[in-house]
Amino acid sequence: MGASTVGGGRRDAAPLYRGRVAVTGWGAGSRYAEAIRRDDIVIRTRTPRARLSGAVYDVNYDSLELSPQFAIGNWRDQAFFIHECTHAHLDMRNLGAHSAHLDEAVAYLAEAVFVEASGQRPLGTETIRVVAHEIARRVLAGTYYVPAADSTRLVREVATHPLYAGTTVYRSNRFNRTWIHTILR
C-alpha cells in the first residue's frame, strides 16, 4: 500500500522498497478485486482466527478471512483489511520462501500509512505499531522510501514479538494451492 492510494495521499509517490519487496499499491485494489472475482482469493467469515484479529489472509487457502463483525465502513476494519491485503499482495508476487518478519513488517507499515493518512490513532500500542507509525509519518511527509535502519528496526520488532517469533518463513505461491487445500477450500 503506497501513499498514493491512501486518503489524501500523493499520486506521485515513489514505491517503498526493501529487498525484493516493492510496496506501491497504485492500482492494487483492482488486482485484488480481479483475484476475488476469479475466485483466486475467497472471502470467508466466521473463522476462529479472524475473530481474534478482525481479518486474516491464509496463503495456503488463498482466503481473506473476515471477522463476522467486519464492517468496511469502520476505519479499524479498513486498517485490518489493508494489513491483510498486503499479505495477499505479497502472495500474488510469488516470492516463494521469504522472511515472515519482513512480510509482517511490510503489512504493519501499510496499515500504519493508512491509519496516519486517515488521521486516526494506531490500532494498538505494541512496539511494532509504534515503530511502523513513526516510519509512516515520515513516508507521508515526503520520504517515499524506508531507510535500511528503519526497516531493520521494524523487522526486529516483528521478530521479537511473541506472535511472530516462532515463524521465520512465509511461502508466497501466487494461488498455487496443493490439491488438498483446493479441495478443502
Q: Which of 25, 31, 33 is nearest to 1 (CA)?
A: 25
Highest mean pLDDT among 15-24, 65-74, 96-105, 137-146: 96-105
Does position 18 have pLDDT exceeding 50, yes or no?
A: no
Nearest Cα neighbor of 63 from 35, 82, 25 is 35
Cβ density class 125-152: b for 16+ within 10 Å, e for less:
eeebbebbbebbebbbeeebebeeebbe
Backbone angles phi and psi of 98, in degrees to 5: -150, 175
Residue where the block lists cell 496443493: 178
- Give the model's pLDDT for residue 52: 64
Give the rounded percent of residues in the chain with a pLDDT score beyond 70. Answer: 81
- Write down the pLDDT at residue 183: 84
